[in-house]
Amino acid sequence: MKVASSWSTLPDPQAAANEAYENLFKKLQKPPDLLFVHSSSAYDNQAVLDRLHLKAPDVPMQGGTSCLGVISEEGFHTRNQYGIGLLGIHDPEGDYGVGIAEYGDDPEKATISALVQALDMASRPGETPAAIVMTSCPGKEESNISAIEAYLGSSIPILGGTSADNDMSGQWQQFGNGASCREGISIAVLFPSGDVSYAFHSGYEPTQHRGRVTEAHDRILLKIDDRPAAEVYNEWTGGLISDTLPGGGSLVPTANFTPIGHQVGEVGGIPYFRLSYPVAVLPDRSIQFFAAVQPKKEIVLMKGTPDSLVNRPGRVAESAIEAAAFHREEIQGGLFLFCAGCMLAVEERMGEVVNVLNKTLQGKPFLCSFTLGEQGCFIGGENRHGNLMIASLLFGPIRTD
């Protein structure tokens, strides 16, 4: 197995795809057997995919749009909101497949369709992959995970990122082989000849503010401890949204450092959390989130800082290394999905993020996309969708000693 990354910030989609693929091929020295593709929504991304498909017609390609651009071991790649990144895996002894499907009126059926396509392409129908990588449009991520687990079981790590655009105008896309869609899902199944390791974290810590969800519907939180949710949240945050309370309105980027946490489990007595990002206050003083809120569950106000967001990717990578069967120096490369809101909050410090990841991974190749939601597998084995989080997937050899 050999992994390499490449990138381009050329504004012309075909020229950018050419430059990125040619540089990737030089590094791998052979065609990839799986290609992750992430690029900003400023491109005509169908043109990007057409050119990549022309360059590598038989290679499974999976990915989607990323806010502004990408980062790799070579830096932060965006120029005038253009940026494309590739992560290629050359692994002729492994099996890989990708499927894509439009949601239509049945997102769960579309998810299974994409999954079956991917398994068939890998020539491993009905088998259990080492990992699944998904990219979906915003809104149905919890259903996507449930559908995959219902089909293949809950023991398979699912990692992914909700495709993003540059300005929240709905220009996101999902990529699968030579196709793209705006309202659907793309899935890659991985049967590598080597091994994988993964981690899922946030850069936030719990505060002392806690309450119980007494009324919620999917991603709308109406009441905390039988009180209007926005009023409670405003008190917890020291009046952060006082100006928004009277008539409602957007909380982006106001709530970047104060999401809501849901405890998923604990290790050694230390809890770990899935985060939900408050998107807007509604006129009835309920709060809309980017991830589901469960009734009757306890929630906690979380708190982050710019420093914690800059350093967290390295810690997530470190967690994946600690969980791996292979050693740090044996890492071949990695894929990271990093919240776009977090990136925008520390955009001027993305060079530090690159440095942190390079130090942790010892300069090995990686690609990181900036997403509107993150899917990952916690240390306890729970696959979840969350916000303001980081998912990592590392590739290495199978150890025989």
Q: Is the pLDDT of residue 208 over 70?
A: yes
Q: Is the pLDDT of residue 394 over 90?
A: yes
Q: How far apart are alpha carbons 314 and 359 in whole angstroms?
A: 8
Instruction: Provide the 3-class DSSP secondary structure of residue 153.
Output: coil
Among candidate residues 51, 156, 133, 29, the one with its CA nearest the CA of residue 369: 133
Q: Is the pLDDT of residue 29 over 90?
A: yes
> Which residues are CB-contacts of 208 (< 8 A; sequence separation ≥ 6)?
none
Q: Is the pLDDT of residue 46 over 90?
A: yes
Stretch 31-35: mean pLDDT, rounded? 97
Q: How far apart are alpha carbons 189 and 274 in whole angstroms?
A: 24
Stretch 303-318: mean pLDDT, rounded? 96
Exposed, middle or buried, 153 (CB in 10 Å: 0-12/13-18/19+)? exposed
- Start-end of H helices in 66-126: 107-121
> Which residues are CB-contacts of 61 (< 8 A; sequence separation ≥ 6)?
35, 36, 37, 49, 52, 53, 98, 175, 176, 177, 178
Q: How far apart are alpha carbons 55 and 353 in whole angstroms?
A: 32
Stretch 263-287: mean pLDDT, rounded? 95
Q: Is the pLDDT of residue 268 over 90?
A: no
Q: Is the pLDDT of residue 400 over 80?
A: no
Mean pLDDT, rounded, of the chain: 97
Return the residue matching tokens 């440095």: 355
Query: Using one digit for the tens of pLDDT, what is the confidence trace for 81-102?
Result: 999 999 999 999 999 999 999 9
Stretch 372-381: mean pLDDT, rounded? 96
Phi-psi region of 226 (alpha: psi -120 to 50; beta: other; left: phi over 0): left
Q: Is the pLDDT of residue 399 over 80?
A: no
Query: Using one digit for the tens of pLDDT, what is the confidence trace for 224-249?
Result: 999 999 999 999 999 999 999 999 99
> Residue 203 — pLDDT band, cuts 50, 70, 90?
confident
> Residue 401 — pLDDT band, cuts 50, 70, 90?
low
CA 273 to chain centroid, in Å, comes to 16
